[in-house]
Amino acid sequence: MPRISNKKIADIFYEIAEYLEMEDVAFKPRAYERAAQVIETMSEEAYDLYKKDGAKAIDAIPGVGKGMTEKIVELFKTGRLKYLQSLKKKFPVKIREITAIEGVGPKMVKTLYKKLKIKNLRDLERAARAKKIAKLPGFAQKTQQNILEGIEFLKKAKGRVPLGHYIELAYAIRDKLKKTPGISHVEVAGSVRRRRATIKDFDLIACSTQPKKLLQKFTSLSEVARVLERGKNRAFVRLKEKIDADLLVLPKDKYGSALLHFTGSRFHNIKLRTMAKERGWTLNEYGIFKGKKLLASKTEEEMYKTLGMDWIPPEIREDRGEIEAALKHKLPKLIPYGSVQGDLQIQTNWTDGANSIEEMVRAAKKLGHKYIAITDHTRTLAMTGGLDEKGLARQAKEIDKINKKNKDFRIIKSAEINILKDGKLDINENGLKKLEIISVAVHSGFSQNERVMTNRIIKAMQNPYVNILFHPTGRILGRRPEYAINIDEIIKAAKKFNVALELDCYPDRMDLKDTNVRKAVAAGVKIVIDTDAHHIDHLKYISLGEAQARRGWAKKSDVINTLPVNKVLAFFKKVRLDKLRKKR
DNA sequence: GCCGTTTTCGGCCCGACTGTTTTCAGTCG
């Protein structure tokens, strides 16, 4: 049975949604999109659910009913989907490839295919260059030009990008707009405000008495490469950094409704609007209305309160139960920003890091950290010059020396120990004993099958010395998928063997992902938030980790390194002693 | 195609902007 990934199922459902959109089918496209989005971001693989509990487990996925369950099961059984094949037969078009162009949707694809037999991006580019597009009914010069420019952009753009590489730019743009006359509010909304691990564009909202002036300033910022849209209260630009930015400007008393609208997520908004509708109200970016009467718009708190619920932190606005919790006044108290007191994964120039231990210490202190763990790679990671037992001992001496010089700061002796293919560690027991925190990670054999990989990691976690599993699923955003592991079993083992799971918040990793954090936390597994810094400039990413922990509904008490250093060390020491005692 | 403290049938979020139009369809968020 082919192991079809969630990503693959989601891609197929998105594709179906576009084909149905093309045929003007009502409502179904959104049903498929909604299901695709849920499957794409859920914590466990649908395939694992199916193997364990059969079709009923698939049917239990929110947004997936009888029809889609059948289709998913067919994919698992045959690796194919007859329904998609029949859609493709009718319109043999690479629809998602073409609709990736900004401003080109399913309806245009249909015309392009019917009139010019355009099936993919290459056909489209050729037709546009030959000036054939402008002659089509409903198309003209401008559309043809937009298509050509859109194709050029697509060639350079990378799709969704890691938040951490762009977040500073988003806020820099916000800050530039702050000084515009007439402005009362300006804020970054959208997936940046929700702190999704990857983003597609920037959504900004502002309130101003002079929207024209503000939009003028926005579209003429030095960061802007091209203006895509510009209306009375909205503009859409393409930045030189190969990412788009959207600005919505409304009057001051609409700040709350505008911010809510532009923060999303889409499905969070849809649920709120449906709730408003059930009461005979309407909800839009201008407020909540009963007929023409305005019920709320000034602040988000007021908006939520009018709907009978508590204010919901943006990080969890994904329609994953937060609305129901807010209605019952039972939202979790999410870990506050600034809670993490020390970073427990840092590489230095002893292996593949760029800076010395002392440089890392200085940078960490500047950030307000009270401690860091030095976690250079170990022996078998040869390309990084991994340390063996002797190397670790030499490094320990160096750490002792620096610790003596720093009274108000503590360096913890640790390592990122390699889990070998059979689940053994590449540092012997004597070496392990000398470390204060023992963290382990997989760095090879990524293609092992799920059973082998899962057992391998669980075997490592059983080792009584092991405290933390680093970047548990191994994903690199946009480059490498998670390795095949059964995250449920990993979480169960983490609980059983008292091993913390890392939320590695280097922007390209963000691993554990939000939905896995939520599962781990629900299972009572402890989390640590680390940057995996290889350079002093990486330490600042810790707030991205806090953001993602919030997205996983984590509380401060779920995260070990919110504790002061003595408690952190005591915690791990106790775990080790308990495990050694049990072993005997 | 999904879903249900009104429901297993009858609903399904809402508005701005563009381009090609003479009142709107398509796209986007």
Residue-wise pLDDT for A423-446, tens only, equals 999 999 999 999 999 999 999 889
Report the range of poorest mean pLDDT among A378-392, A400-414, A441-455: A378-392
Report the range of poorest mean pLDDT among A448-452, A459-463, A558-562: A448-452
The pLDDT tens digits for A263-277 are: 999 999 999 999 999
Which residues are CB-contacts of A101 (< 8 A; sequence separation ≥ 6)? A121, A124, A147, A150, A151, A154
How far apart are the C-alpha atoms of A369 and A341, rounded to whole Å? 5
Q: What is the pLDDT, as a whole number, of residue A383? A: 73
Nucleotide nearest to A284 (CA to C1'): B14
CA-to-C1' span, A230 to B19 (A): 13
Residue A153 vs residues A149, A301, A442: alpha-carbon distances, Å: 6, 39, 37
- Are A345 and A470 in contact, with CB atoms under 8 Å apart? yes
B15 C1' closest Cα residue:
A284
Q: What is the pLDDT, as a whole number, of residue A157? A: 78
CA-to-C1' span, A146 to B21 (A): 18
Q: What is the rounded average pLDDT of the residues A563-581?
A: 94
Q: What is the pLDDT, as a whole number, of residue A133? A: 93
How far apart are the C-alpha atoms of A30 and A437, rounded to whole Å? 48
The pLDDT tens digits for A196-207 are: 999 999 999 999
B27 C1' closest Cα residue:
A103
How far apart are the C-alpha atoms of A394 and A411, rounded to whole Å? 15
How far apart are the C-alpha atoms of A35 and A32, rounded to whole Å? 5
- Are A29 and A17 in contact, with CB atoms under 8 Å apart? yes
Token pair for A257: 């409704």
Q: What is the pLDDT, as a whole number, of residue A99? A: 94
Q: What is the pLDDT, as a whole number, of residue A512? A: 96
Nucleotide nearest to A261 (CA to C1'): B29
Q: What is the pLDDT, as a whole number, of residue A156? A: 82
Local confidence band at A44 (pLDDT 50, 70, 90 cut-offs): confident
How many CA atoms, within 13 angstroms, populate the side-chain half-sphere of residue A396? 16
Q: What is the pLDDT, as a whole number, of residue A343? A: 98
Task: Return the HEC string of A367-406.
Answer: CCCCEEEECCEECCCHHHCCECHHHHHHHHHHHHHHHHHC
How far apart are the C-alpha atoms of A379 and A385, rounded to whole Å? 7
CA-to-C1' span, A235 to B16 (A): 10
Nucleotide nearest to A16 (CA to C1'): B1
Nucleotide nearest to A266 (CA to C1'): B29
CA-to-C1' span, A107 to B25 (A): 10
The pLDDT tens digits for A107-123 are: 999 999 999 999 999 99
Q: Residue A243 pLDDT more than 80?
A: yes
Q: Is the dihedral of CA A567, A572, A578, A581 positive or negative?
A: negative
Q: What is the rounded average pLDDT of the residues A220-241?
A: 94
CA-to-C1' span, A338 to B19 (A): 48
Q: What is the pLDDT, as a whole number, of residue A309? A: 94
CA-to-C1' span, A234 to B18 (A): 12
**Per residue in A486-508, is it b (16+ CB within 10 Å) or e — as a string?**
bbbbbbebbeebbbbbbbbbbbb
Q: What is the pLDDT, as a whole number, of residue A158? A: 74
Q: Could you tell me the pTM of the whole model?
A: 0.92
Q: What is the pLDDT, as a whole number, of residue A90? A: 93
- Are A377 and A564 in contact, with CB atoms under 8 Å apart? no
Local confidence band at A584 (pLDDT 50, 70, 90 cut-offs): confident
Nucleotide nearest to A70 (CA to C1'): B1
Q: Omega into A512 within 30° of 0, i.e. cis?
A: yes
Nucleotide nearest to A269 (CA to C1'): B13
CA-to-C1' span, A31 to B2 (A): 6
B chain positions with any atom within 7 Å of a protein CB: 1-3, 6, 11-21, 25-29
Nucleotide nearest to A137 (CA to C1'): B20
CA-to-C1' span, A173 to B15 (A): 25
Local confidence band at A334 (pLDDT 50, 70, 90 cut-offs): very high
Q: What is the pLDDT, as a whole number, of residue A574? A: 93
B16 C1' closest Cα residue:
A234
Q: Residue A382 pLDDT more than 80?
A: no
The pLDDT tens digits for A285-332 are: 999 999 889 999 999 999 999 999 999 999 999 999 999 999 999 999
How far apart are the C-alpha atoms of A361 and A539, rounded to whole Å? 10
Percent of chain A with pLDDT over 70: 100
Q: What is the rounded average pLDDT of the residues A522-532?
A: 98
The pLDDT tens digits for A126-163 are: 999 999 999 998 899 999 999 999 998 888 877 889 99
